[in-house]
Each structure stands twice: as C-alpha cells, then as structure tokens.
Chain A
Amino acid sequence: MQRLDRLFESSARSLAQRTSRRSFIGVLGRILTGSLLVPLLPIDRIHRAEAASGPEGSPAAAQRVPAAAKGKSTTKAYTEDQQSCDYWKYCAIDGFLCSCCGGSSHTCPPGTQQSVVSWIGTCHNPADGRDYIVSYNDCCGKASCGNCDCYRNERERPLYRLSRNNDVNWCMANTGSDYHCTVSVILGSAGP
C-alpha cells in the first residue's frame, strides 16, 4: 500500500499543478464514477477533454476514431472481434492481447496474475457512440505470450505521465512481475 500511497501523492501533485480547484471538483465527480469499479486508479480528466476536441489542434488530431481503425468503424473487427487489434477497446494498447492467450479482452489467462497497477485510456465505442474510460492491465507472472501483438497509442503519453504510458512494464508491482499479455477493462462511461 505504501507504493500506492506514493503513486497517488505523485498523481495529486501533478493534478494540482495542472488544474484549478473548480475544475478539480468536476474531475472528482468523473473519477468517482469510474472508481465504482476500480477505486485506486489514477484517472485524470485530460483524456476526456482530448477525446472531445483533439489534443493538438491539428486536423489529424481532431479524429475521434483511433487511427488503426480509421475507416473501419462499422467493421466487425472494430466493433466485435476481441482478438483483433482494431477492436475499439484497444485504442491505447501496446502488447499482446490476452484474448489470444487464453483470456479475454478483460480477463487474464489462467494461472497468470492480474497487475495491481495500470494505465488508463479513453476509447470510443462505435456501437453506442459513447466514450469509455478503460484501464489497461497487464497479466503477469509468465513469459511473453507472443500472440496478437497490438500496437496502438491514441492519447498515450510519455513515461513522465505514467498513468497514460504503455512503455513501462505494468507488472512492475506484482510479486510475479514478468509480462505476459494485456487486457482492456471498461471502468465506466466517460460522458454523461
């Protein structure tokens, strides 16, 4: 728990540097919504803001549909196929899909360990038109699965914004910290 305490201290400091008190209250409401499912994940509101307007002001940045799935929003791979990297929930994943390794899009393969820390993304579900906050959790304690290497990075950020980074081993805090594969777990709707 000491590690989690330090993580939240770090996240809180970072959030305080970036947001006003009023906006913090708005964020808090959104965090609490998601936290009904996973109470200890460092979510911030930036994903939501970027999902709505694009983070960089460029025409390309305005896209809501992940690049890998652009033009495919009605395809089965994007909407239904959980073993496809194009599946909508995988919009910021970098690793092996657990759905190809004995697990599913949101469950780990048998005999692995669920990571106790994770990174966060916001993905758009074309089926209902909603954005969802998802937690990318690694499944740990066995060697690399090696199947369905999936590489998408929408709204992913460098290592200093850790809660949104997929370049680090998120099995790091587990007793079995070898990386096996990654799942995408819906925490809640990112919108009203």
Chain B
Amino acid sequence: MRSFQAWAALLAMMASGWAAASDPLPPDQFGMEPLPARTPHWIYVVDSAFMNETDSRVRLYDADTHGHLGQIDAGFFPGVTLSPDRNTMAVGTTYFARGGHGERTDVVEFTDMTTLALTGEIVLPAKRAQATPTYFNLGYSSDSHFLYAAYITPAASFGVLDPASRKVLGEIETAGCVLVIPWGPNHVSSICDSGRLLTVMVDAQGNEVSRALSNLFFDVDTDPLFVQGIPTDRGYTFLSFLGKVHEVDFSGPEPVIHAPWSLVSTAETGQWRPGGQQLGAIQRRMGRLYVAMHRGGEGTHKKGGTEIWVFDLGTHRRIARWPVPPLKLGAVTAVQVSQDEAPLLFLASDTPAAVATLDALTGRLRHVDTNLGQTPWLILNP
C-alpha cells in the first residue's frame, strides 16, 4: 500500500511539472478574416428586418460549410442587385440622419464582393421606390454601363445612373408602370397597371430615345401578375395569382411574351396557388421550376408555401410535390436554387425565421439555419 501511494505521488508531481513546463498560448494576431473564394453554393440573403426596417442586411452564407461569411448593411427598404460580373453588389437604400428620423438620404452603395468593403456610392434624389425586395428595384444593364433605380414618389419613373463615374445621369418617367427590368445594353422594361410591359430604349448617354408598349398579356383584375420575376436563360418567368406561368424572352430586339401555361389543374385553380415574397426559382441547367404553393383563396397571395411544387419546363408537367412541414420550417416565403451541377435548393421562412438547404434533385433536407435574419425575403446567387 505504501508503495502504491508513493508511485501515485510521483506521477502527480510529474504531471504538474509537465504542465508548468509547457509554453503559454501565444498572443493572438488581431486582424480581419479574408473572404474565401465564392462557390455556387453561397447565397446572399436579403433580410428586410421587418420589425426594425431601417436596419436591413444582406448576409453571406456558405451552404456547404453552414458558415456565416459576412454582412452588407442595407438600410431601409433596400433594393439589392449584383453586377453582371458578380464582383460588385449595389444596394439602393435610404438612411435617416438620426436613426428613425432626420434628413432622408437615398443612395446606392457599392460593395466589392471579393472583400465586402464599401467602394463608393451615388446619392439619389429622394424618390427611390421603398418597396419590398424584388430583382427589379435596382438593376444593371448587361454591359454594366448603366444602373437603373426604380422611383416611386408615388409617381413612377426610374433613375439612370453611371456606376463608373458614380453619377446620376437622368430620370425617365413611366406613368402607370413600375420597377426596372434591364435587358441588353440599353433597354429597360417596366410592368404596367394596364397588363402590359413598357419598354424604354436609351442612348449612350442614358437619355430616352424610344418607348413601346407590349400587347396585353395579363389581366390585373381577374388574375394579376406577381412582380417577382424568376430569371431564365433568355429573360424572366412571371407567375400570376392563380398560377399561370408567363415566360418573357428579353434576348431579342423586343420582349417576346409566350403563351401562358398553368401550374394548377382546372380542379386546383383557385384552391392551390403560388405565394410569398420570392415565389420560385428555376434551375436552368436542368430546366426545373420550383414554386412555393399553398392552399388558399383570394387575399392569400403573400402567404408562404406549404409545399414546393417542381415542374419540368420542357413538358410543363409537375414532377414532384415536396411538403414543407417535415422540414421543420415555417411557410416558405423565398425560394432560390444554385445553378451548378449538384444544385441546392434554398427555402426561407419568416415565421419562424430560417433558411433550409435541400438537395434540389431529390428534395432531401441537408440543413436548417436559424441565424440568417428575421425576414429573409430575397435570396440571390453569387
């Protein structure tokens, strides 16, 4: 026994001696983490911060690592867009000099998306459309020469900006038509209360040279068109309240509006419908359309989806219905999909606030993140 105690004492002394002899931790190097190279599985989540709207943010998230990579401040009712080369994020927003009050400044702020550093701004007239986020609150021309900002005062118009020289070039009125859908180097379309598209062509200085109205293609009274377009290879797809799909080709000299098709059967019409803030997304490589759908009547068009319906864009056939409740997610208010060969589907809810990542081929849930803001209403691909 005495021998055992002696050995134990010896071991304890050796252990404490080793601990005392080990080196202390070195001083930390205080610095800034570099932003890693972006991947197709990043997303930019626009949090409109509805409970405190002057404090919107854009959050960078890596769906492969579940990492929160950084943030861009976005102010009040922001419009958010990326340059065609994806290296610059433009945020059109409003600040008040003293928080919730004081002098109003409307501004477009530019962020370098390789560093997340602010690189400049353009101060706008106090006319910016302070509306919920869509792709069309702010947008670049295809050659990055112009940036267009939607104005509502409530008179509708848009500002033509020069992002290179950081200047406002002018303003073009669009009475009865709202938002900016830039296409090509010098065209901007807007969606009209009359059920048409207005298209304005500008010259090299950003001045209007012509305008044209499309044919009537939707009925605002019986089946309005959502303003949240979904990017396609050749333009945008728009959904209607009752589930009609309107594909608009902006790749030619003028918009070509294809005959609509329907997400819902005759029996489902008026019962099931799309809804939310960012209603759907298209995986262009696979030709698949994902839409947040819910069962509901008139007045439920902003209700989030309780199912995700998946369509083949070639056949217009529904190929899957994925119920949302098993994902432990609230009603889906925003949908996005990555454009790579192993695509991920992103579904956001604001009640409770969360963003789910799924395999876009199978619908299998990979992860749910609950720290991406309070009202994630728009998700952009990098």
A interface with B by C-beta (< 8 Å)? 3, 6-7, 9-10, 13-14, 17-18, 46, 50, 54-61, 63, 66-67, 91-92, 94, 117, 141-144, 146, 149, 151-162, 167-169, 172-173, 176-180
B156 in the interface, Cβ–Cβ < 8 Å? yes
Q: Separation in Å of the A187 CB from the closest CB of chain B?
A: 18
A149 to B53, CA, bound (A): 13
CA separation between A6 and B56, bound complex, in Å?
Answer: 30
With A and B bound together, what is the CA distance between A172 and B298 in angstroms? Answer: 28
Majority-rule SS of A interface residues: loop
**Which residues of B have CB within 8 Å of A6?**
153, 155, 175
27 contacts between A and B (CB under 8 A): A6-B175, A9-B155, A10-B155, A58-B271, A60-B297, A61-B298, A66-B299, A67-B296, A67-B297, A91-B299, A92-B299, A117-B154, A143-B52, A144-B100, A151-B302, A157-B220, A158-B226, A159-B131, A160-B179, A160-B191, A160-B192, A160-B193, A160-B220, A161-B224, A167-B132, A168-B132, A172-B152
Contact B302 A3 (CB under 8 A): no
User: Is B58 positioned at the interface, with any CB of A under 8 Å from its CB?
Assistant: no
B185 in the interface, Cβ–Cβ < 8 Å?
no
Give the shortest distance, in Å, between A123 (CB) and chain B (any CB).
11
Q: Which residues of A contact B59 (CB under 8 A)?
A: none
Q: Is B99 an interface residue (CB 8 A)?
A: yes
- The answer on a CB contact under 8 Å between A178 and B100 is yes
Q: Is B225 positioned at the interface, with any CB of A under 8 Å from its CB?
A: yes
Q: A160 is contacted by which of B130, B178, B270, B297 (Cβ under 8 Å)?
A: B178
Contact B299 A152, beta carbon cutoff 8 Å = yes
Whether the pair A58, B225 counts as a contact (CB closer than 8 A) is: no
Are A168 and B223 in touch, CB under 8 angstroms? no
Q: Is the CB of B338 closer than 8 A to any CB of chain A?
A: no
- B 181-222 binary contact with A (CB < 8 Å = 1; else 0): 000000000011110000000000000000000000000111
B99 surroundings in chain A (CB, below 8 A): 143
With a cutoff of 8 Å between Cβ atoms, the chain B residues found around residue A66 in the complex are: 299
In the bound assembly, the distance between CA atoms of A56 and B296 in angstroms comes to 13
B131, B152, B298, B300: residue with the most chain A Cβ atoms closer than 10 Å: B298
Residues of A within 8 A of B191 (CB): 158-160
> How many inter-chain residue pairs (CB < 8 Å) link A and B?
164
B interface list, Cβ under 8 A from A? 50-54, 76-77, 94, 96, 99-101, 104, 126, 129-132, 152-156, 175-179, 191-194, 220-227, 241-242, 269-271, 296-302
B155 pairs with A56, CB closer than 8 A: no
Give CA–CA (A143, B50) in the complex, Å: 11
Residues of A within 8 A of B126 (CB): 177
Q: Are A159 and B222 in contact (CB under 8 A)?
A: no
Given A143-B99, A160-B177, A168-B130, 17 new contacts (CB under 8 A): A9-B175, A56-B298, A151-B302, A155-B298, A157-B224, A158-B227, A159-B129, A159-B191, A160-B179, A160-B191, A160-B193, A160-B220, A162-B156, A168-B129, A168-B131, A168-B152, A172-B153
| B224 partner, pick from A58, A63, A158, beta carbons under 8 A | A158
Q: A155-B298, A161-B193 are in contact. Are A61 and B152 (CB under 8 A)?
A: no
Q: Using Cβ atoms and an 8 Å threshold, which residues of chain B touch A153?
A: 299-302
Known: A58-B270, A149-B50. A141 touches B101 (CB 8 A): yes
List the 10 closest pairs (A to B, CB-CB), nearest first.
Answer: A58-B270, A60-B297, A143-B100, A6-B155, A154-B299, A169-B130, A61-B298, A168-B131, A167-B132, A10-B175
Judging by beta carbons under 8 Å apart, are B296 and A144 in contact?
A: no
Least distance between A191 CB and chain B CB atoms (Å): 19
Min CB gap A45→B, angstroms: 11
* Interface pair A144/B269, CB less than 8 Å apart: no
Chain A residues closer than 8 Å to B153, beta-carbon distance: 3, 6, 172-173
Q: How far is the CB of A109 from chain B (nearest CB, A)?
A: 13
Q: Tell me the smallest distance from the CB of B276 to a CB of chain A, in Å.
A: 12
Q: A58-B270, A149-B50, A167-B132 given as contacts; is B220 within 8 A of A161 (CB)?
A: yes
Q: How far is the CA of A14 from the CA of B156 in the complex (A)?
A: 13
A161 vs B195: C-alpha distance when bound (angstroms): 10
Nearest chain A CB to B312 CB, angstrom units? 26
Is the pair A179, B175 in contact by a Cβ cutoff of 8 Å?
A: no
> Is the pair A56, B270 in contact by a Cβ cutoff of 8 Å?
yes
- Interfacial chain B residues near A178, Cβ < 8 Å: 53-54, 76, 96, 100-101
A63 to B300, CA, bound (A): 12
* A149 neighbours in B (Cβ, 8 Å): 50-51
